[in-house]
Amino acid sequence: MKPRNISDAEEFFLLGLSGDLDLQPILFVLFLSIYLITVLGNLLIILAISYDPHLHTPMYFFISNLSFIDICFISTTVPKMLVNLQAQSKSISYLGCLTQICFVLLFAGLENGILVMMAYDRFVAICHPLRYNVIMNPKFCGMLVALSFLISFLDALLHTLMALLLSFCTHLEIPHFFCELAHILKLACSDTLINNTLVYLVTSLLGVIPLSGIVFSYIQIISSVLKIPSAGGKHKYKAFSICGFHLCMVSLFYGKCLVVYVSSVVTDSPQRMAVASVMYTVVPQMMNPLIYSLKNKDMKEALRKLMDRIASLQ
């Protein structure tokens, strides 16, 4: 079987979550609903934070950035899936496939970076409250987001450019609903040692180091909160409740990665792995607005004001 460069390949074929034609309409309605809920929910979060001056703080600045990233993340994969389901097609151009890989890596890295910033924000707010406004100034917060974008962009660009050097055989079927780097490497006929080494090295650096920072931050936070006198129970509750939202996000982000990794180890079924991957490309992006709106009093009040404002304009 003669290998060919990716630029010579006309298209890849996304096999999706299921080959059962009877399930295609159900999957279309399900993922369309999830996509609309995710985009609308995150958009409301962004508008509410922008509209309410009381939420113009570092914590909500990071939350609004997270919502924007979630919209971009899910828009990278789900719309193409919906188009393929509706058109009963499985094809995606090689350029479209590489573009998906690049943006998935970019937004996954950005989400990881934002979670680290939110952990640091809570660490400074609880452990160094008197210096909070000095440390977490708008310029510094903007620099953190810009740095995260730069690192994520370079990571995504590196992997995408390395994928351009691969050669592929005629079997170009991807057992997934979007192009994922791991599946592309498995399809390659050429040597992927350098690509796989880069994947493991960069993933370890951009995964272990941020997670270690989050764990360290929360160890310090818990230690500081426990030192609050029993008379300050109200402050303890407020501190834990605020951090609880972020811990839910961290659990979703790293938990989904663990689910995908375990699934790839314990099962050889491509369909099951594709379903498991939904955990990190669809579910967290839909859950984020719910986590930050259902039990967050400030956010609920901001959303109420926004709804009242919209109603008054009609």
pLDDT at 66: 92
- Token code pair at residue 165: 């050097």
Burial 8-46 (b: 16+ CB within 10 A, else e): ebeebebebbeeeeeebeebbeebbebbeebbebbebbb
The reported pLDDT for the residue numbered 6 is: 45
Tell me what pLDDT residue 174 has: 83
**Across 68-224, where does the E strand assignment appear?**
91-93, 167-168, 173-174
Beta bridge partners of 168: 4, 188
- Which of 35, 64, 72 is CA-nearest to residue 299? 64
Q: How high is the mean pLDDT in each 10-residue block of the chain (314 residues)?
A: 49 77 84 92 90 88 93 92 84 88 92 90 88 93 95 94 83 81 84 86 84 87 75 56 70 68 55 64 77 72 80 72
pLDDT at 4: 47
Give me the count of residues in the chain.
314
Rounded to whole angstroms, the Cα distance separating 189 from 185 reads 9
Decide which of 2.40.160.100, 3.30.43.10, 3.30.750.24, 1.20.1070.10 is the CATH code for 4-313. 1.20.1070.10
Q: What is the pLDDT of residue 7?
A: 46
pTM value is 0.85
88: left (phi over 0), alpha (psi -120 to 50) or beta: left
Contacts for 65 with CB less than 8 Å, ≥ 6 apart: 114, 145
Q: Give the residue carrying structure tokens 């314990």.
A: 266
**Distance in angstroms (rounded) separating the CA atoms of residues 168 and 190:** 7
pLDDT value, residue 272? 62
d(CA 72, CA 77): 9
pLDDT of residue 65: 94
Q: Could you tell me the end-to-end alpha-carbon distance of the chain, in angstroms, rounded to an integer?
A: 64
| Every domain of the chain and the residues it spans | 4-313
